[in-house]
Amino acid sequence: MDEKQLVKEIKRLKKEKNAIILVHNYQRPEIYQVADLLGDSLELAKKAAETDKDTIVFCGVHFMAETAKLLNPSKKVLLPEINAGCPMADMVKPEDVARMRKEHPKAVVACYINTTAETKALCDICVTSANAVDVINSLDADEVIFVPDMNLGNYVQKFTKKKMIPFQGYCHVHHSFDEEKLKLAKEKYPKAVVIAHPECPEFILKHADEIRSTSGMITAARDSDAQEFLIATELGMIERLKLEVPEKTFYSAGAIRVCPNMKKTFLESVYKALRDDQYEIEVPEAIATKAVECVNRMMKVK
């Protein structure tokens, strides 16, 4: 089938199976066409928690579909590409959390949503890039172990009196940003506003006019008087911004790679997921019971 036929079939199957399709901002632009919601991790987690549909098709990576399953244990959750993983989520192991707890016995353990359910089950509370500062400041603790993203942990440290103890993990896409390329881009587009994701290292964040989650970037661009923007996050976000704010112009702030896992999902993948109920995500009950508490604590923070 061509693209038009695939979109038509996906929408037909979605209705037939009482399904909702959740799509992360980093997905391929053609996937946007079939989305019931396009968003960042926080938006998608909230939508997953609220949906009354029987089936959730999650166009993202494994931990996102896993989180949707935690919030909807009785619903069918499908990940169109089962090998769409997250290297950062895989960097932290259960033994790492145990070791850090032993080293810092008075600390609360917070995890980025970019973690496996197994890791979430060992942590006290979850955060996303959109709510990390608010969640950390809500904690009744002076020390916070933060896994796995050291860049997000270091960013939060600027806005809290709590001592952040970050694990040394990172997103390979954001960590690869080149400061010299960003400087050259700023010289080329001197009127451009720089919007960066907090997963970027400090040498990139120090050049940013705005530091936002992916969906926060859309709001910032829409509300700004500027007409040009340099975007420091996964390259595909530029397509999302062009879709939402078409009257403005967006350039990369020096990205040297895309997230290959986010780009594994094609329209055909979504079609097969709905047609064949593939690939269904399951989380063992012993892990799910504890992991969902970690996520729910985050959801209760205003």
Question: Is residue 139 one of the residues assigned to a domain?
Answer: yes
Q: What is the pLDDT of residue 227?
A: 98
**One domain, residues 132 and 58:** no
Question: Is residue 222 one of the residues assigned to a domain?
Answer: yes
Q: Please state the φ and ψ torsions of residue 193, each to the nearest 5 degrees.
A: -85, 135
How far is Cα 140 from Cα 107, in angstroms, rounded to an integer?
Answer: 10
**One domain, residues 150 and 75:** no
How many domains is the chain partitioned into structurally? 3
What's CA 69's distance to the chain center, in Å? 16
Q: What is the pLDDT of residue 39?
A: 92
**One domain, residues 38 and 109:** no
Domain span at residue 41 reads: 3-85+262-282
**One domain, residues 164 and 295:** yes
**One domain, residues 150 and 294:** yes
Q: Which two tokens stand for residue 18?
A: 């009482």
Q: Please state the φ and ψ torsions of residue 226, each to the nearest 5 degrees.
A: -70, 155
**One domain, residues 293 and 145:** yes
List, for residues 185-218, the tens digit of each pLDDT value.
999 999 999 999 999 999 999 999 999 999 999 9
**One domain, residues 248 and 271:** no
Q: Which two tokens stand for residue 249?
A: 């112009």
Q: What is the pLDDT of residue 132?
A: 97
Question: Is residue 148 one of the residues assigned to a domain?
Answer: yes
**One domain, residues 100 and 165:** yes
CATH number of the domain to which 165 belongs: 3.40.50.10800
Q: Which two tokens stand for residue 101?
A: 């707890």
What's CA 104's distance to the chain center, in Å? 28
The pTM score is 0.93
**One domain, residues 152 and 102:** yes
Of the CA atoms within 13 Å of residue 289, those in its CB half-sphere come to: 2
Q: What is the pLDDT of residue 42?
A: 82
Burial of 221 (0-12, 13-18, 19+ CB in 10 A): buried
**One domain, residues 34 and 23:** yes
How far is Cα 213 from Cα 201, in angstroms, rounded to an integer?
Answer: 14
**One domain, residues 62 and 96:** no
Nearest Cα residue to 149 out of 128, 170, 163: 170
Question: Is residue 8 one of the residues assigned to a domain?
Answer: yes
One-letter amino acid of 86: C
- Count CB neighbours of 139 within 10 A: 18
Question: Is residue 39 one of the residues assigned to a domain?
Answer: yes
Q: What is the pLDDT of residue 79?
A: 98
Question: Could you say which residues of the chain have pLDDT below 70?
Answer: 302
Q: What is the pLDDT of residue 255?
A: 78
List, for residues 76-113, the tens digit of each pLDDT value.
999 999 999 999 999 999 999 999 999 999 999 999 99
- Count CB neighbours of 9 within 10 A: 17
Query: Helix/strand/coil (H, E, C) string of 133-175?
Result: HHHHHHCCCCEEEEECEHHHHHHHHCCCCCEEEECCECCHHHH
**One domain, residues 144 and 12:** no
> For the chain, how many residues are written?
302
Q: Find the Cα–Cα–Cα–Cα dihedral 206, 42, 55, 4, rounded to 10°.
A: -40
Contact in structure between 41 and 128 (CB atoms under 8 Å): yes
Question: Is residue 257 one of the residues assigned to a domain?
Answer: no
